[in-house]
Chain A
Amino acid sequence: MSRTKTIRTDYLARVEGEGGMTVKMRDGAVEDVQLRIYEPPRFFEAFLQGRDFREAPDVTARICGICPVAYQMAACLAMESLAGVEVEGQLRALRRLLYCGEWIESHTLHIFMLHAPDFLGVHSAVELAAIDRPLVETALRLKKLGNDVMRVVGGREVHPINVRVGGWYKAPTRAELDALVPELEWALAASLDATRLVAGFDFPELEQDYLFMALADDDEYPIDRGSHLVTSHGALFPVADFYEHVTEHHVAHSNALQATLDGEPYLVGPLARYALHHERLSPAAHAVAGDVGLEPVVKNPFRSIVVRAVELVHACEEALRLIEHYEQPPEPSLEVLPRAGTGHGASEAPRGVLYHRYRLDDAGTILDAKIVPPTSQNQRMIEDDLRAFVGAHASLPDEELQWRCEQAIRNYDPCISCATHFLDLQVQRL
């Protein structure tokens, strides 16, 4: 006789019925792990058809309230690559600065408000504020700084309105950027402290042999762009060849597509960027990674919180460097003329590679659009992690096991807006 036990949590719920995760166990062994994802990008791909190519950055920015800049940059890069225009110099520096603001916002939210509570024995940021008020106040101040960078460069805190294909509607003045410096200097020191703090957490044991993928661009730690994609298996290919290596599969349990890289599950995001590019981190970020004993390749997904903190240091230091060298450009943008063909663009969203592909006619009308967000690329890997992790902890009581599964999902900072709007998690013992 088989007994089914279902545990269900609403902790992640916002909009029910769209997605979720089910772990099925039989006789103490993991039988199946399924992550179901709902993907707004499919709606936006259809919505973009028939629109002017210049609308793509603003339309796709609406996909995500947390990483709108990632969408704007990938869309701009795709359109510019097709037109043969390269946005360089200060126009490009401003893009990287805006993106640093997004990394600061997004990483701060995840490190302090969502991930740290798991390691400090509390269930939420609200409980954390009750036991460690200064830590939460630091987080809010860092997040506000990220908002300020977005507002000064992007014109607005959420969904920047100053970004356009070819550059900007208006370039900020030197004085406007200089005003950000004192708070960025504070943030650099605060993020170094945060890195040391989170590196001292107790991490559950889990080692995964990941296949990593990240963007690569000259000698920079990839953020706003990349000409190529690089993998931990040594592959290096142009962004335009994305679909020659990445295959998206339909799976029965999710309406999202699951991706493989040359036939294998793979990982994008902080662990991937760090493994492939840690030597390109800013001086303070590189130094603190060494100080806290971060190995060159981090294989424990729970330690992604430390890598995010190192990237937070990098974003603050990089923003300071960009502002130090800033000169207001004479023109805020370059002219980009429509051309028929297919354009490709990719950027490093806080949670990993985001790829856009557009096909235009000679008037610049979008004939079709493809958007591949990071969370759907990581979906197979999240399932694999959960299978390994649940298998090793199957004897835990249901409530404890469920909490551990939630932690394992949080390791990936899954983007609910671009890939899953919420997760409903079930553990079934059959």
Chain B
Amino acid sequence: MIGVGNDLRGDDAAGLRVARALADEAEVRELEGEPVGLMDAWDGFERAILVDATQSGAAPGTVLRIAAHEAPLPPEMRRASTHLLGVADAVELARTLEKLPPWTVVYGIEGACFDTGAALSPEVESAVGEVAAAIREELAGA
């Protein structure tokens, strides 16, 4: 289970918070979304779950679940910029290079505020609990 985000950027910490909630129940990594690190983190695993914050314009706290091994990630999961490649790029790159785990699920949590130094929004705080519970069920059903 890989939580992606930045603790210092408000709701961008959502993925990291889910990872911390599950630290005793799964093999957990906290990453910033750098693609080589991500590809390394899931290399050799049969199953991977990623959680990242999204900003698609949906209501804050909206949870998205995508079976990434079945289809490409939607544009709102993209984190690309002139400088960074992100989760969606890492997943698509891994797919092209045949390095994606055969079962890969990506959760997105819609953020409201990504300001430096901001706290987690209440809607995102509750979505973090919701996603952690959903992942627990996925793990139990494995």
Q: Identify the A interface with B (CB < 8 A).
A: 10-16, 18, 40, 43, 47, 62, 65-66, 109-110, 113-114, 124-126, 129-130, 133, 136-137, 140, 143-144, 147, 157-158, 406, 409-410, 413-417, 421-423
Most chain B CB inside 10 Å of its own CB: which residue of A10, A18, A125: A125
Q: Which of B34-42, B123-131, B134-142 contacts A (4 or more CB under 8 A)?
A: B34-42
Whether the Cβ atoms of B89 and A125 lie closer than 8 Å is: yes
Kindly list 9 other residue pairs between chains A and B, CB separation below 8 angstroms, not including A129-B93, A158-B37: A10-B75, A12-B80, A14-B79, A47-B117, A113-B85, A114-B85, A406-B82, A416-B81, A416-B83
Contact surface of B with A, Cβ cutoff 8 Å: 6, 8-9, 12, 31-37, 39-40, 55, 75, 78-86, 89, 92-93, 96-97, 114, 116-117
Q: How far is the CA of A12 from the CA of B84 in the complex (A)?
A: 9
The B contact surface, by secondary structure, is loop
* Closest chain A CB from B127 CB (angstroms): 18
CA–CA, A136 and B117, complex, Å: 36
Would A140 and B36 count as touching, CB distance under 8 A? yes
What are 16 sample pairs from A and B whose C-beta atoms fall under 8 A apart? A15-B9, A15-B55, A18-B114, A47-B117, A62-B8, A114-B85, A126-B96, A129-B96, A129-B97, A137-B97, A140-B36, A140-B97, A143-B36, A158-B34, A414-B82, A416-B84
* Nearest chain A residue, comparing its CB with the CB of B40: A144
- Identify which of B35, B78, B96 gathers the most chain A CB atoms within 10 Å of its CB: B96
Considering the complex of A and B, which 7 residue pairs feature the smallest CB-CB distances, nearest first? Answer: A43-B116, A129-B96, A416-B83, A15-B114, A126-B92, A143-B36, A65-B32
Q: Is the CB of A144 within 8 A of B82?
A: no
Chain B neighbourhood of A130, CB < 8 A: 96
* B85 and A125 form a contact (CB under 8 A): yes
* Bound-complex Cα distance A48 to B113 (A): 23
Report which of B36, B55, B79, B83 forms a contact with A414, defined as CB distance below 8 A. B83
Q: Give the complex CA separation of A43 and B8 in angstroms.
A: 10
Contact (Cβ within 8 A) A14 B81: yes
Give chain B residues whose Cβ lies under 8 Å from the Cβ of A147: 36-37, 40
A47's nearest neighbour on chain B, judged by CB, is B117
Q: In whole Å, how far is B116's beta carbon from the nearest beta carbon of chain A?
A: 4
Given contacts A10-B75, A47-B117, A143-B36, contact A417 B93 (CB under 8 A): no
Contact of B55 among A16, A114, A410 (CB under 8 A): A16
Given A16-B55, A125-B93, residue A157 in contact with residue B84 (CB < 8 A): no
With CB as the reference atom, state the residue of chain B lying closest to A147.
Answer: B36
Q: A66-B83, A125-B85 are in contact. Are A14 and B93 (CB under 8 A)?
A: no
Residue of A nearest to B31 (CB): A158
Q: Which residue of A lies closest to B98 (CB)?
A: A133
Contacts of B97 in A (CB 8 A): 129, 133, 136-137, 140
Flag if B82 contacts A410 (CB, 8 Å).
Answer: yes
Chain A residue with minimal CB distance to B36? A143
Q: In the bound complex, how far is the Cα of B82 from the Cα of A136, in angstroms? A: 18
- Give chain A residues whose Cβ lies under 8 Å from the Cβ of B78: 13
Q: Which residue of B lies closest to A157 (CB)?
A: B37
Give chain B nearest CB distance to A277 CB in angstroms: 24
A417 touches B83 (CB 8 A): yes
Q: How far is the CA of A114 from the CA of B89 in the complex (A)?
A: 11
Given A11-B80, A14-B79, check contact A126 B36 (CB 8 Å): no
Partner of A66, one of B6, B79, B84, B92: B84
User: What is the CB-to-nearest-CB distance from A18 to chain B, in angstroms, rounded to a whole number?
Assistant: 8
Give Cα distance in the complex from A415 to B9, angstroms.
Answer: 16
Residue of A with least CB distance to B117: A43
What's the least CB distance linking A92 to chain B, in Å? Answer: 27
Bound: A227/B21 CA distance, A: 47
Do the beta carbons of B82 and A14 come within 8 Å of each other? no
Docked complex Cα distance between A415 and B34 (Å): 14
Interchain CA distance A144-B93 in the complex, whole Å: 15
Are A413 and B93 in contact, with the CB atoms below 8 A?
A: no
